[in-house]
């Protein structure tokens, strides 16, 4: 008879089986793609806006500008009156501007104030003429892109004897006379865009020499 010794009998203990669970995070297509679409859409909108702005900035036509910049004192004698006016012309476009058919009419204002001269409709005409470019002997000149140009016009009036006498008396009494200038010019860009006629009207106080 064999007696078992519990002290020498190996004992095996088994740990309870634990079930391992793998967790998965579901990434939907919508969550993954939408940020990319937003960036792409934003870039397209920015590009479209900048392209439109640049096209309008460079290609949008801007009307030509003309103004009376300065004038010299007027000299009046029994044979006529002489003086010089300088006009400014501005081209704000990105193309060369061709100016042509510059015409000037100058009236003597026999009223005591500029306001009355502005509304007077029967002013005596003391000069009427067109500009002649000394370089080309034509009534044309140009301004390059986004630039200004000064044009000097010298006048010799052959007004009537009564008007010259009135101008002489006015110069003697107050030291200046009021002139009303009317000017017109045609403007056209080198790319063919025409602006039609630009007008200038205004009264100025001209000192007598």
Are 143 and 54 within one domain?
Answer: no
Single out the residue in 15, 35, 60 at which a domain terminates. 60
Residue-wise pLDDT tens digits, 134-189: 999 999 999 999 999 999 999 999 789 999 999 999 999 999 999 999 999 999 99
Q: Which residue has the higher pLDDT, 126 or 30?
A: 126
Are 129 and 50 within one domain?
Answer: no
- pLDDT in the model for residue 37: 62
Are 142 and 42 within one domain?
Answer: no
Could you give the number of structural domains in the chain? 2
3-state DSSP assignment of residue 176:
strand
Are 78 and 49 within one domain?
Answer: no
Pairing relationship of beta strands 80-91 and 75-77 according to DSSP bridges: antiparallel
Are 39 and 135 within one domain?
Answer: no
List the domain range (segments joined by +) for residue 39: 27-60
b/e map 105-127, b = 16+ CB within 10 Å = bbbbbbbeeeeebeeeeebeebb
Are 171 and 95 within one domain?
Answer: yes
Are 53 and 151 within one domain?
Answer: no
Are 44 and 122 within one domain?
Answer: no
State whether the Cα torsion 87-88-93-98 is positive or negative.
Answer: positive
Q: What is the CATH number of the domain that holds 108?
A: 2.60.40.10
Share of the chain above pLDDT 70, in %: 73
Are 54 and 88 within one domain?
Answer: no
Q: What are phi and psi of 48, to 5 degrees?
A: -65, -45
Token pair in block for residue 131: 């500009």
């Amino acid at each position: 008879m064999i007696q078992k010794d519990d002290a020498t009998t190996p004992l095996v203990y088994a740990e309870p089986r634990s079930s391992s669970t793998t967790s998965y995070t579901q990434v939907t297509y919508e969550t993954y793609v939408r940020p990319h679409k937003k960036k792409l859409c934003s870039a397209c909108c920015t590009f479209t806006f900048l392209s439109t702005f640049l096209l309008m900035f460079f290609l949008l036509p801007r009307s030509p500008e003309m103004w009376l910049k300065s004038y010299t004192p007027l000299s009046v004698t029994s044979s006529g009156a002489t003086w010089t006016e300088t006009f400014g012309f501005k081209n704000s476009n990105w193309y060369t501007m061709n100016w042509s058919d510059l015409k000037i009419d100058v009236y003597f204002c026999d009223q005591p104030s500029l306001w009355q001269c502005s509304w007077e409709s029967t002013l005596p005409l003391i000069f009427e003429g067109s500009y002649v470019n000394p370089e080309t002997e034509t009534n044309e000149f140009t301004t390059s892109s986004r630039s200004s140009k000064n044009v000097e016009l010298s006048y010799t009036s052959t007004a009537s004897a009564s008007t010259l006498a009135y101008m002489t008396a006015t110069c003697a009494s107050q030291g200046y006379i009021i002139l009303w200038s009317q000017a017109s010019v045609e403007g056209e860009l080198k790319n063919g865009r025409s602006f039609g006629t630009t007008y200038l009207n205004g009264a100025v106080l001209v000192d007598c020499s």
